Chain A
Amino acid sequence: MATKPLVPSASAVRWLGVIAAPTALALGFLWAGGGLTPHRLTQTSLLDALRAVDGTPPGFRRNHAKGVCVTGWFEGNGNAAGISTASVLQPGRVPVVGRFALAGGMPFQADAPAKVRSMALRLMSPDGQEWRMGINDIPVFPVRTPQEFQDLQLASRPDPASGKPDPARVKAFRAAHPWLRAAGAQITHRPLSSGFSDDTYRSLNSFLFVAKDGAKAAVRLSMVPLQPVTPADAHAGDHDYLFRQLIDDLHAHPLQWRLMVTLAGSGDAIDNPSKEWSRDNRQIDAGTLTLKDIESEENGPCTGITFDPLVLPRGMMPSGDPILQARSAAYMRSFYLRSGERPTAPAVSPEMTVPPANAKDNKS
């Protein structure tokens, strides 16, 4: 057997053959990762847009950064079992870990009546099926698509000179998106309740409930308070009054909400969260949420959870709403980044959430 040199001479075409496939793969890799399309909407570009508005204090959620953990349970009543096989909707209790928060990426922002409040929940069925949701107290979402979300964030980023959003940029966004005008007006003119405890929270995005026979029904969800609702009042100067009020309420008694499932009517836009649904749709009272305990995010049970709206139990599916996909992707990225960072102490500190009896014990 003749020994060949390690690299025998060969034609350029053959060398091209060696190089072509790996080069094509490397280019494909670059394209798939967005390297060739710098304007692609990505997890990074969405989080960057949020950061442009709010900055990034390390360790906190990139949105809804100021919050507090709560725990309790959800008790299904079986009324919605006909449209979804999800075990949480059957009669029975499941444990809940949740979080109340203010929208926005600033973990130390001051509370104010018109700031968007949110409730986030993780419901854990005994069979291991899990349902997570993050719901807001506005009637509709201000935008229809992830691209619009990013554009709106960028338009409302504070001007470095004034520290306030540039009104001209916001106006330009509004002018370019006339179809969002109705949503903007509905959000601005929504009735404001006094605090977290008497607020109504809505899924805004739509989901599909799947019945036993496979039939799918488009629904939106809301949590309606069983506490009496009182209108918002001014609390100038108290930086954390909304959270203090929630802590006091929960130390006094459990808080309850009714889970209302609204079915889409024939004219309702399922995949557009900026459009309100008709008000005379069929609604199902699906069960009651009871929250009993409250804890600071510092070592609290909700801190290491991302309330990804696409963590759904069997019997529920995402609708075609494009915002849902972007949320799932952005929440995972935010959860990854913040989990690797060391946070400073949160605004709602462990001292603030100590129940009154223990507070006395601690002093003695």
Chain B
Amino acid sequence: MKNVKSFTMPSRVLHWVMAVMILAMIFIGVFMASTVGSDYYRLVALHRSVGIAILVLAMLRLGNRLHTPPPPLPEDLPPVIKVGAHASHILLYVLMIVLPLVGWGMLSAGGYPIPLWGQSVRLPPILPYDPMLWAELRSAHTLLAFLLFGLVLAHITAALFHGLIRRDGVLRSMLLRASLDPISQESHGD
């Protein structure tokens, strides 16, 4: 198991920075969409800016991923599981890019101005003004965000399963400082 190599440092940093941002965004999203309280305006403004930041980081990450292939999964994993893991990662990439594009696109179609970081930058519309399309994309934004959340939950469960039950080095391959991690140290003892 010790021969499972780690992800490169840039891959790991991108993974964890984006994991925090994406989870935060999902929570901000569902919270703001069900609140009319005094933080609504600020949360929506934050949501737009962080969402666009995720889009930029996801493109960088995709480039990085295509440039430096990830370490292979343990050989003793059944092929079905490997294919499933691979497919879920592809879907995660797709959603990390599509979800912010849908957010941007829906506000464009709805005729809303799209300011970022206060009023300092204004994004141009990426879709023509079309209220019917706005309604469809607004539904799609919710649906895709919920799908992403479900996928992230499954992903985290799988990662912890690797780390705590199988102890096969897969979790360690993504941790920032593997040597300081008690779980992976334990797994050396296997």
Contact = CB atoms under 8 A, between A and B. Distances in A.
Interface of A: 1, 3-4, 6-8, 10, 14-15, 17-19, 21-22, 25-26, 28-29, 32-34, 40-44, 46, 128-130, 146, 303-306, 308, 310-311, 313-314, 318, 320, 322, 324-326, 328-330, 335-337, 339-340
Contacts of A19: 157
B26 interface: yes
Given A18-B165, A304-B131, A146 B157 contact: no
B161 interface: yes
Given A28-B27, A318-B41, A328-B41, A17 B119 contact: no
B139 interface: yes
Contacts of B132: 339-340
Contacts of B153: 22, 25-26
Contact of A40 (B34, B40, B129): B34
A18 B36 contact: no
A322 B76 contact: no
Nearest to A146: B36
B7 interface: no
A193 B113 CA distance: 35
A311 B113 contact: yes
A303 B130 CA distance: 11
Interface in B147-190: 149, 152-153, 156-157, 160-161, 164-168
Q: Which of A10, A17, A26, A339 has the most CB of B within 10 A?
A: A339
B160 A21 contact: yes
Contact of B131 (A28, A322, A339): A339
Given A17-B160, A29-B149, A314 B36 contact: no
Interface string B1-12: 101000000000
B78 interface: yes
B165 A339 contact: no
Given A1-B76, A25-B153, A42 B160 contact: no
B110 interface: yes
Contact of A18 (B27, B139, B164): B164
Given A1-B76, A18-B160, 15 more contacts: A1-B3, A10-B164, A10-B165, A14-B164, A25-B156, A29-B149, A32-B31, A40-B35, A42-B35, A305-B111, A311-B113, A322-B37, A325-B39, A329-B35, A336-B134
